[in-house]
Structure 1
């Protein structure tokens, strides 16, 4: 075949093949094209659609823009169905996570905003809880280190060493002076007390025998295996002391002798308290460091002797704190009041109504403390204060001889009060007792188990030590409602003596000053112990003892 002819046939064949391929591509494009309706608008993607899209990409499948807008993937009624297209089995390109869209970011922001502005109280509690946890961590880190060391304090109460020396001299002088001021002729602070010159008036063998015998008798009654055994609060080393709570009053003495020898009995009690305090201090020098009271462990002998070096001194089952604070003080006080009633009957052939009233008031107070003896285990005396001269002298001398000063005044000075005045005084005493007993019972029950069903309605604030501060019930009235009730009762007792002398009002004046100082001490300890929780508690309960006053 000629060469020109072969070239002409090859070009013809090439053009035919090109036209065939072009036609094929044109037909394929028309076949796979998707008509788009002009009025159709693609709706915004929903979170479910975004989630579905993310899952589809995570499987390694890819989408074309035409496929994403197809009716098979969208619920828009204006779109027509597109023929199904086969997808590659495996994608060679690795799918990347879908970045957050504007809508998903908006949803997350709305949820975060909702958490923040849900309620101010929740936010406040969250901040408090965070601070409490931080302080608790610091507290727990130092706890074991502190337990290994001797617990000491550099802060001294009552004016330090000079102050306690002053009290050791003036406290006996106050009791001596008040008893001597209240004699039969006149009872006034302007009366110069007569100082007996005969030493036998001070040191009476019978009076000393009565004091020592009474102590031994009460000690035996305290250790008898009768009554309920109660565990105290945890100590520094984690142990709990066991206390036997029982009430026993046993007396086989001529009752009038107590009144007749009241002054030498008081002197004998002073001497006994001094001797017993020395015994307790010597004993405390051999006690383990975990048994010492931080407030009475300064290294100064005189100060530690006064405040109490050992926290809970005891000999066998006899606990000195419980024994002196309840039995030796309160039962002796009650017996002295009963002796006053007997003396008044012997002298006048009858007992004045005011004396009967004050004896009942104070008898109720003493019986309450003995009946609810278990509640005493959660007080500041048991938990923090040591047992030294202040406790021994206070319980052996101050309580029985000065708290009975109203009865002594009414025996020696006849006070006739109208019955309606006595009714008002009685009502005042009942109000004080209700506040005193209600708040103490509520506190004791809450401290033992704050999650008890009967405590569920009470609000409280958590602390770093794991305890909770009560801000409801009686404890919403003020920070120390039990102190308020105590002071109200003290005023009622003195009102039975009328207004002829200020001497019978020594007790309410003294107890008010004492409890204000005690509340201040407790507040300082709580501030150091609870930190931010205590600040929140003070903002919730503004008044210390007297509502709207202090």
Structure 2
């Protein structure tokens, strides 16, 4: 029994030691420390040598219970340890040799199942670092590949956007070209006026000849249609440098007055493309400034009567200047865009377009030539010529006749009215439809100023003494004509600007498909062109100041009447094409064209 107790104690002590030591397998110890299998370090351990249980008890080598220890049976390393095989106590122990449990130990037959996890050895750590490094390189390579792909995608999108923009621009240009071609077709003049090409050639010859004949027909000795005009044989009458200098200098003075930054800026009527041109309306200021210059010149004794003396030479110089300008404007119009061409002068015939005007509104910087010629060069030149006739008549011993003073005042008020209401001219047919060609340049430089002043020229060369009561009747007729002229024009201009204005609410109108309204009440209920009626009445009053001694002064009202009748016909044809059935309703509502109950 004492022996069995000692064996039990030894087993419990060995179990306590095995529990107190770190749990490491023998395989780990053998792999980490090679000296454990070869050196009897266990017997040399100080802790074991001092232990009394192990040194003094001989039963340790003979104890059969050691073979049943689970730790020893399961450890293959302890079975192979040389220190234990060589121990005499273990070899000679009969219990060990005869123990059947050692041969049937499952730990020896299945050692792999008892093998615990081993910590990674240094080569394994290096390989893991290499693996992690290679994975980082792979990720970096993938990132670079992704950047390349992203860059290529961005470049592709940019290229596609650029291509899209180019395609859109090309498409817009193609549409613009198509639009221009369509506009060319739409704005192509289909109907020719004045007898077509043959007719305009005739007028280009006949109009200058008419002005020259009438001026030369009215001389001091006689002034009638049967008088043979005197044709100057001296070339100085035709090529007078002083006359040319006066014409060109007068042109630049008025052009300067037109572009100085004084006066309000007004928007014109909408054009075909929807845009509006801007005009500087300072015509009345130019009128006042011109009168001041003339008064200063009279005070400084400038020889303005030279205009009367060189009237034929000035007329020739103005004609040549108008022809040169017409050629320049036609060459300029050939380079103008399709939308800038005049609807009445785009036939393709050089002669016809040259006469009617190929471009609608030619400009040079801020200077609009059509407005400048139609109002400044024509009307102000006409006014100055009349004033020069007054100065010439005042040099005679009898002084200036009252009839000449009256007609000069009448025509001066007409010019002042036109320049005061300059912006109203922007709604006329001249601005909206007619081009700027030979008809405009010659008409405003020669025909209007020299032919419209025929009454003054007649009264200078042939004195007419009219009673004051006749002059009073003529003045009354002039006032009536002016009231009709100005009242109808003002009503039309105000209605065109805003037909829904409160002051226009009492006026009746007819709507049209173009968006405009046709006025059928007020002055415009009397006839379709009441302003033309007032213009003709004023023209008659001017000629009445010359009496009935000659038919030459009455050429102006006759010409104005025929011209306005033809103009009304042209305007009616344009309105018929533009308004269609609305124009027919308007014609039924307003039956008379110019003269109420007559025409």
TM-score bin (small chain): 0.7 to 0.9
Partner deviation per Cα, 1:186-211 (whole Å, 9 max, x = no partner): 00110001111111011110000000
Match of 2:353 among 304, 322, 326: 304
The residue that corresponds to 1:23 in the other structure is none
Count matched residues.
Answer: 409
| Local SS of the residue matching 2:305 | helix
Normalised to the residue count of structure 1, the TM-score between the two structures is 0.73
2:300 is the alignment partner of 1:255: no
Match of 1:434 among 459, 483, 486: 483
Match runs of 1:7-406 below 5 Å? 146-147=182-183, 149=185, 151-246=187-282, 247-248=285-286, 249=290, 250-251=293-294, 252=297, 254-406=303-455
Partner deviation per Cα, 1:307-338 (whole Å, 9 max, x = no partner): 00000011011001110000000000000001
For residues 497 and 348 of structure 1, what CA distance do their matches in structure 2 show?
20
Partner deviation per Cα, 1:243-295 (whole Å, 9 max, x = no partner): 00113114555311111111100111000110000011000011110000011
Distance 1:146-1:530 versus aligned 2 partners, 3 A rule: farther
For residues 572 and 370 of structure 2, what CA distance do their matches in structure 1 show?
23
Q: Give the Å deviation of 1:146.
A: 4.7
Higher relative contact order (CA 8 A, sep 6+): 1
The residue that corresponds to 1:39 in the other structure is none
Q: Give the Å deviation of 1:147.
A: 3.5
For residues 153 and 219 of structure 1, what CA distance do their matches in structure 2 show?
31
For residues 367 and 340 of structure 1, what CA distance do their matches in structure 2 show?
19
| Local SS of the residue matching 1:206 | helix
Q: Give the Å deviation of 1:394.
A: 0.5
The residue that corresponds to 2:151 in the other structure is none
The residue that corresponds to 1:526 in the other structure is 575
- Contact in 2 for aligned 1:147/1:237 (Cα 8 Å): no
For residues 159 and 317 of structure 1, what CA distance do their matches in structure 2 show?
35
The residue that corresponds to 2:553 in the other structure is 504
Q: Give the Å deviation of 1:150.
A: 5.9
Partner deviation per Cα, 1:493-519 (whole Å, 9 max, x = no partner): 000000000000000000000000000
Unaligned runs of 5+ residues in structure 1 are 1-142
Partner deviation per Cα, 1:126-146 (whole Å, 9 max, x = no partner): xxxxxxxxxxxxxxxxx9995
The residue that corresponds to 1:448 in the other structure is 497
For residues 467 and 184 of structure 2, what CA distance do their matches in structure 1 show?
63
Structure with higher Rg: it is 2
| Local SS of the residue matching 1:469 | strand
For residues 244 and 427 of structure 1, what CA distance do their matches in structure 2 show?
34
Normalised to the residue count of structure 2, the TM-score between the two structures is 0.67
Unaligned runs of 5+ residues in structure 2 are 1-178
The residue that corresponds to 1:488 in the other structure is 537
Distance 1:144-1:274 versus aligned 2 partners, 3 A rule: closer
The residue that corresponds to 1:73 in the other structure is none
RMSD: 1.4
| Local SS of the residue matching 1:219 | helix
